[in-house]
Chains A and B, each alone.
Chain A
Amino acid sequence: MSTPESTPKISVRDVQKVFPVGKDPFVALGGVSLDIADNEFVTVVGPSGCGKSTLLNILAGLEQPTGGTALVDGKPVTGPGPERGVIFQQYALFPWLTVRENVEFGMRTAKVPKEEQRERAEHFIRLVGLEQFADALPKTLSGGMKQRCAIARAYAVNPSILLMDEPFGALDALTRVRLQEQLLDTWSKDRRTVMFITHDVDEAVFLANRVVVMAARPGRIAEIIDVDLPYPRDEDMRLSPEFGALRNRVWHAVYHQRQIKEPAK
């Protein structure tokens, strides 16, 4: 599924992010390099402070790296753009717009014809199963429904990659598992490149082709673990010994990290 020969969809080259905090600058990312191939589903997992969200924000164009380059489709990222869809943990729905209007937001910005906006919004609202709530305001939706709406909104502008920042982090366990399965279902249909940040080891292994384990102080990649489990993945797979072994490996990589001394600058 991943073709290492072709140009990577996402290419992060020695990206650094240093926040100047007094005399001791905080190194959120200390030279991270990572390639993600087209059609790949990569999860990034690590303790808080490992810079995983910073990495995603740099790819989204919401933050600028202090060193190195981030390339998407071979072009350096200079700012946010609709070809890189972002799903936020806090849903970030516009509370004054209905589900439909939220989903149409990006298309309206891109001046998609009204008729097409309606059709595409309808399609993606149905895809995430919110057709009965198309005209509801976000405040009437549960957390899971809000995130499904946010996913539909991201899909509606047809981005070539999806950047997801702990999208299911605030949801209860059952809703989270359901949304994971729905997300995999959608991904296995269109194979859109996904970079998915999480702090949940189970989630990281269940979704990904590859799990990138990051470490903190300074933020860096500790290990990359291939997940060679076949898709479609279901509940039985979660209980399989192969899954268990991979989960243990990732767990170990995340929680038994050796601390390295931050070089004084």
Chain B
Amino acid sequence: MNNPRSIEMAVGAFVAAGLAALFVLAMQVSNITAFQRTEGYTVVGYFQNVGGLRERAPVRLSGVQIGRVSAIRLDQQRLEARVEVTIDAAYDDLPSDTAASIRTSGLLGEQYVSLEPGGMPDALGQGDEFMLTQSALVLEDIVGQFLYEQSGGGGSD
């Protein structure tokens, strides 16, 4: 065997390399920064149907990501989905009548919340609500509606 000093050195280097690899995996491979709660303010939106939207889905305005979905729950009173969105504190001047809709990126991609800015002078703040929301498009509903209209609209429901 080598002398104990060099063995200790080698083991120390091994442990350090292993921990460093884990650290790099955490920082470079996974989104551990996005895993933490983002600095920003929370805005609430009520949707008839959130489709396949999930927590931590991106929130985009003009295609630029400005926040994340922080919570999705069912509101018992309104019987609608209550979606909480955390918007980066850097974007603190969105008009208060900004509209939110749930869109799909690409034909089969993930769902995200898309914001359409309005024209009001005052800004959205912590705890505000999106006044206009548009639910996710559910393919079955669209096909059903199409068939219903094709058959003449009337008749039995």
Are A and B associated in one complex? no
- Seen from chain B, the residues whose Cβ lies within 8 Å of a Cβ on chain A are none
